[in-house]
Amino acid sequence: MACAAVLAVACSRGISEQDAARIAQQLVNQRQGEVLEVMQVRPVGGLHKVTFRAPPDQYVDVFISQDGTHFSDSVRSVAAEQAELAADRQFAQCLKTAGVSLLVGRNHAGSQQQLLDLGRFAASLAIACDDDQENCKKLGVEEFPTLRHDGKLYGGRRTVPWVETLTGCKR
C-alpha cells in the first residue's frame, strides 16, 4: 500500500521505508536548510530509523513512526530510562540523607540549571526563597542557588562532581 508523501500520513498497514525516507527528508531538509542524503532506512523498535549523511562526514538519525504521523530525533530504551530514573532518585535520596538542601529562586536561571544538573528528583531538596524570604535571609543566603550542607552555605552553581565530593553521594 503506497501512502502520499506528506508530513502527517496515516496508513492502515503502515508506511513503506521509501515513504518514511521522504517524510524524514522533508523535515530534516527544512530544519537543516540544505538537502541531506538518505543513507539508510531500517526498522528499529516499531519505528523507521532514517540515517542521513551530513557534511562533513557526519551522520544524523531520525525516527518516523510506522504510520508516518510521528517524528523524533532520538529514542531511548526503556531499560536506559529506568536506570537513569533509579540513579537520579538514589542520588537525591542520598543528598537528602546527607542533609543537603538547595536554596533557590524560583525564576532564577542558575537555580533552575542547578536543579537540572542534580537530576530529576533534585526538586525534593529545594527551598524556594521566593516563598520563604525571611528564613533565607536568616540563613545568610546571598545568591542563588545556594547549597546548604552541615550548616555551611555554598553560594553559586556547583558541579555534580563537586557535590559528590562534598557529600560522598554518587550519581
User: What domains are there in the chain, each with its CATH number?
Assistant: 17-72 (3.10.450.520), 78-167 (3.40.30.10)
**Mean per-residue pLDDT, 117-140:** 90
> Could you tell me the pTM of the whole model?
0.65
Contacts of 3 (CB under 8 A, 6+ apart): 9, 11, 15, 16, 19, 68
SS3 state of residue 153: strand
CA distances for 169 relative to 110, 112, 156, 160, angstroms: 22, 21, 19, 10
Question: How far is residue 79 CA from its own chain's centroid?
Answer: 16
- Residue 67 makes CB contacts below 8 A (sequence gap 6+) with 9, 10, 11, 14, 15
pLDDT in tens, 10-50: 444 689 999 999 999 999 888 878 888 899 999 998 899 99
d(CA 122, CA 117): 9
Q: Which range, of 16-20, 66-70, 135-139, 164-168, averages the lowest pLDDT?
A: 135-139
